[in-house]
Amino acid sequence: MGASPPGHRPRLLSLRTTFAVSFATITAVVTVLVGGLSYNAAARLVRVDQTSVFDQAVRDLRAEVRRQRLSPADFSSSAPGHDIVRPARTDVQVLGPDGKVSDPADPRLPVTGEDRRAAGAAAAGRVVQHDDVGVGDDVFRVATVSLGDGRGAVQVAQEFSDTEDLLRALQRRTVLLMAAVVVAAGLFGWWLARRITRRLVVLTAAAENVARTRRLGVQVPVTGPDEVGRLGRAFDLMLGRLAQSEEDQRRLVQDAGHELRTPLTSLRTNISLLRRIDELPPGAREELVADLGQEARELTDLVNELVELAAGQWAGEDPQPVDLAQIAHDVAALARRRTGREIAVRACGETTTEGRPALLTRAISNLVENAAKFDPGGTRPIEVAVAGPALPGPVRVEVLDRGPGISETDLTRVFDRFYRAAGARSQPGSGLGLSIVREVALAHGGAPFARRRDGGGSVIGFTVGTGAAGDDTGYGDEGRT
């Protein structure tokens, strides 16, 4: 029961409507509570005041008739001084000794048997009280006070109707005021919700446009110092990052397709020669097998590096304090065993920073391997220099070699993916080693750099932390992803 039919989406309230209704509801609850409490307090005070006035009038009248001998004529509305003996804010009706009305009130009050007996009572100040006495459309509270010695009695009456009419008028005005406050609160809540959610609507429209068109280059016109403005800036930054990531992925696929085409073509050619391997001389056979092994290794290295770039090298590794000098020593020790080259490590300053150890190890290792590859017969040691900042700033890592060096035209492109200088195309490799160095540097808030070394060779490195490589870098923002 209650299940929606297939394909039917339940209608959801907008944030603006929800905010306005919630604002009006809270205001209504508070207004009703305050209004109800205020009315009850006012009604209680009015009723208590009326009761106090009536009780005081009865007490004063009893004291008066007990203090002096009074007759019905003393309470007549036409007698001199009647305003002194008649209680204020009350109606007075005078009864004679026989219990009959000698001076009626306006309106005339009913007289009961108890009232007549009080008129003939010997004791002065005897009181007979009646509540809720109906006279026409009005309701009264009535007290009959005997004058004593059978001289008659005085009836004091207080009208309930006037008080209740006043309270009903106050109640109506309170209800109208509460309704006006609730309506005003609803309208103000709607205006406020519209003002608050206007930028959210723009942001939602931008997100829906991205989801519908899959175009990430959308400007998000949401600004401001508040949370909505921060959300807009974060969303705009996210779209920019996604657009850049999409562009990087597209370039990676295009570059990978281009780079894979050559080794795959060579591999297919050599495989086709395998069908005629029996016809080849022994030397050609050995050369063919060696070429196949070399191409397979290069293709494996290329695919592995492509997978690392595509999958994100820093996935699953959390930043932690790392000592770049210690990493450089570990990389140098491993490279000595692999290449047999002498590798010297120099460190100065504070070289500990926040980073991802595996990534930084890979970056320094790529730099050392690159230096060893392009200076295979070198007799001078490869140098790894790690310099901490004298002031707060980036840590600098650079590898110095005495190889053929890098031409001025290649300095700004050596960190591009798959880029290989004309003089290096005969060397083994995929052209991704320095590209990975750049990705690691950018992931750690730094930048890569490359320059020619005085006396021959090259200096290639990167920085880690806030700051750029410096004015002497040959690689700036070109080619950043």
Q: Supply φ then ψ for residue 350, to 5 degrees.
A: -85, 110
| Residue 8: burial class (beta carbons within 10 Å; 0-12, 13-18, 19+) | exposed
* pLDDT beyond 60 at 174: yes
Q: Name which of 206, 213, 209 is nearest 233 in CA terms.
A: 206
Q: How far is 372 from 429, CA to CA, in rounded Å?
A: 12
- Chain segment 187-227, per-residue pLDDT in tens: 888 888 777 777 777 777 777 777 777 777 666 766 667 77
Please identify which residue in the block is written with the tokens 């009315």. 39
* pLDDT beyond 60 at 428: no
Q: How far is 310 from 252, CA to CA, in rounded Å?
A: 8
* pLDDT beyond 90 at 302: no
The proportion of the chain whose per-residue pLDDT surpasses 90, expressed as a percent, equals: 7
Query: 297 or 129, which is more confident?
Result: 129
Q: Which residues of 69-105 are buried (b: 16+ CB within 10 A; e: fewer)?
A: ebbbebbbeebeebeebbbeebbbbbbbbebebbbbb
pLDDT band at 245 (very low <50, low <70, confident <90, very high): confident
Architecture of domain 21-166: 2-Layer Sandwich (3.30)
Say if residues 370 and 448 touch (Cβ distance below 8 Å). no
Q: Which amino acid is at 182?
A: V
**Strand 127-135 vs strand 153-159: parallel, antiparallel, or unpaired?**
unpaired
Q: How far is 290 from 170, CA to CA, in rounded Å?
A: 106
For residue 316, the SS3 value is coil
Containing 39, the helix (H) or strand (E) segment is helix 15-67
Q: What pLDDT was estimated at residue 227?
A: 74
Say if residues 202 and 229 touch (Cβ distance below 8 Å). no
Q: Which amino acid is at 177?
A: L
Cα dist. 371→274, 363, 366, 368, 380 in Å? 36, 13, 9, 5, 12
Displacement of CA 269 from its chain's centroid (Å)? 60
**Quick one: average pLDDT of 30-54?**
80
- Chain segment 137-152, per-residue pLDDT in tens: 778 888 898 888 888 9
Say if residues 126 and 145 touch (Cβ distance below 8 Å). yes
For residue 172, the SS3 value is helix
Displacement of CA 464 from its chain's centroid (Å)? 32
Q: Where are the domains of the chain?
A: 21-166, 217-311, 320-464
**Strand 395-400 vs strand 91-95: parallel, antiparallel, or unpaired?**
unpaired
Question: What's the whole-model pTM score?
Answer: 0.45
Other beta carbons less than 10 A from residue 411's beta carbon: 21
Cα dist. 30→27, 180, 259, 435 in Å? 5, 13, 72, 65
Other beta carbons less than 10 A from residue 436's beta carbon: 20
Fold held by 320-464: Heat Shock Protein 90 (3.30.565)
Fold held by 217-311: Helix Hairpins (1.10.287)
Q: How far is 110 from 159, CA to CA, in rounded Å?
A: 14
* pLDDT beyond 90 at 277: no
* Strand-by-strand arrangement of the 101-103 sheet: 101-103, 91-95, 153-159, 138-146, 127-135
Say if residues 146 and 123 touch (Cβ distance below 8 Å). yes
Share the mean pLDDT of the chain: 77
Q: Name which of 211, 212, 210, 183 is nearest 220 in CA terms.
A: 210
**Strand 382-387 vs strand 343-348: parallel, antiparallel, or unpaired?**
parallel
* pLDDT beyond 60 at 11: no
Say if residues 371 and 401 touch (Cβ distance below 8 Å). yes
Q: What pLDDT was estimated at residue 303?
A: 75
Helix, strand counts (H, E) of the chain: 9, 12
Q: How far is 425 from 420, CA to CA, in rounded Å?
A: 6
pLDDT band at 416 (very low <50, low <70, confident <90, very high): confident
Query: 68 or 428, which is more confident?
Result: 68
Q: How far is 476 from 419, CA to CA, in rounded Å?
A: 17
Q: What pLDDT was estimated at residue 476?
A: 35
**Quick one: average pLDDT of 270-285?**
77
Token representation of residue 197: 């959610």
Q: Spell out the residues 6+ positions from residue 8 whose beta carbon is closer than 8 angstroms to its own.
A: none
Say if residues 190 and 20 touch (Cβ distance below 8 Å). yes
Lowest mean pLDDT among 149-153, 260-264, 431-435, 474-478: 474-478
